[in-house]
Structure 1
Amino acid sequence: MIKGLYEALLPVKDMNRSLAFYENLGLEIAHHGESLSFVWIEKGVSWLGLWEGEQVNTPYHPSLRHIAFRVDYEDIKQAKEWLEAKGIAVREVFGFQPIAPIVLPNRPQAHTAIYFDDPDGNLLEFICPIELDTSDQEQMMYLHEWEELQSKRGKE
């Protein structure tokens, strides 16, 4: 029955500023309305709704104002430089400085991710699965540290 996630929404203060930000990330405008607009994440597969209104003043919490975009492994390794070239700063998370993607251990899964904010303080994430159903990773670390461990183990 369920094939994937089609839609998620975030609150925004200024629709035009937000649309420009998401277009800068490479997303295409699917619908531009006065208080509700949509940008394609993957055309015909998933989109992100931007809702202009007072809800943007709701204090940040990841259960309310967070979106994670799936990216390829090679792309996440270049994500920091790619974002910074677009004028978007990568942010510190979980005590890790914004120098590189980090590895998130959710045993038996492991993902690598990098985080940044949109103009309204919504937390955005690029994420890529790196081990599914087999990870024994127990601690967070930078991706380059994880790659070194995998290389030593002969897994990469």
Structure 2
Amino acid sequence: MKLGAFSVSLAVKDLQTSKSFYEKLGFEKFGGDMEMNYLIMKNGDSLIGLFQGMFEENILTFNPGWDSSAQEVEGYDDVRAIEKELKSKGIQFAQETDGSKSGPASFVITDPDGNTILVDQHI
């Protein structure tokens, strides 16, 4: 199962303060918009998303079809195929894909310790 690029989406209290902190760790702005209350920051292949006021807890995020530079990769597993395989293994879903046959879609599951996992395909 190819889940794609991995990042951690952090629920932050103050976007500017968090941005400054992660810049000290060598992260640079990769995407997002301060005015929209989120930034995507990158250090090498490491990605973090900083989100102010969008959700309450941190989220593990996977992006099928993308590498760590948000470039499309060949031979990826479509999010709907991943969802189907996980369902066959008895995984419970907090949110399922929209049922479309192709293109962008996402689902949400929760691990045994309550950590939210978002599988979010953009292509």
- What range is the shorter-chain TM-score in? 0.3 to 0.5
Q: Calculate the TM-score normalised by the size of structure 1.
A: 0.32
Ranked by relative contact order (alpha carbons within 8 Å, sequence separation 6 or more), the top structure is 2
Kindly indicate which of the two structures has a greater share of residues assigned to helix. 1
Q: Calculate the TM-score normalised by the size of structure 2.
A: 0.39
Higher Cα Rg, which structure: 1
